[in-house]
Copies of this chain bind each other. A is one copy, B any other.
């Protein structure tokens, strides 16, 4: 069984990561992309997704851009100018954190910094 427990706190970083790569994404697309990347194991629910997206907009990291496809709104989220800077920093931090988890839970031999 796969535990989603440890994935708490990863939604916002994950959104930033994906949008940073794709340029822009809309909510539903994000849920599908994550499902795909995780082999259907991670399902981001709307109750988690939309508040997270709105928070990122509030924080000034993301901005929106609406597009109408037929009669349906598609609300794209993209990095703001300052958000582009923030994204780089945040992604660095996140990677460091994940490597910390890898280390704490012994998922690789210790890396000896021979400098």
* A94 touches which of B10, B90, B105 (Cβ 8 Å): B105
A85 within 8 A of B: no
A binding-site residues for B, Cβ under 8 Å: 1-10, 12-14, 17, 34, 37-38, 41-42, 89-91, 93-105, 107-108, 110-115
Assuming the A-B contacts A13-B5, A113-B111, A115-B114, are A98 and B101 also in contact, with contact meaning beta carbons closer than 8 angstroms in the complex? Answer: yes
In the complex, are the beta carbons of A105 and B114 less than 8 A apart?
Answer: no
Task: Determine the chain B residues whose CB is within 8 A of the CB of A101 once the complex forms.
Answer: 6-7, 10, 98, 101
Assuming the A-B contacts A13-B5, A93-B3, are A102 and B111 also in contact, with contact meaning beta carbons closer than 8 angstroms in the complex? Answer: no
Task: Determine the chain B residues whose CB is within 8 A of the CB of A91 once the complex forms.
Answer: 105
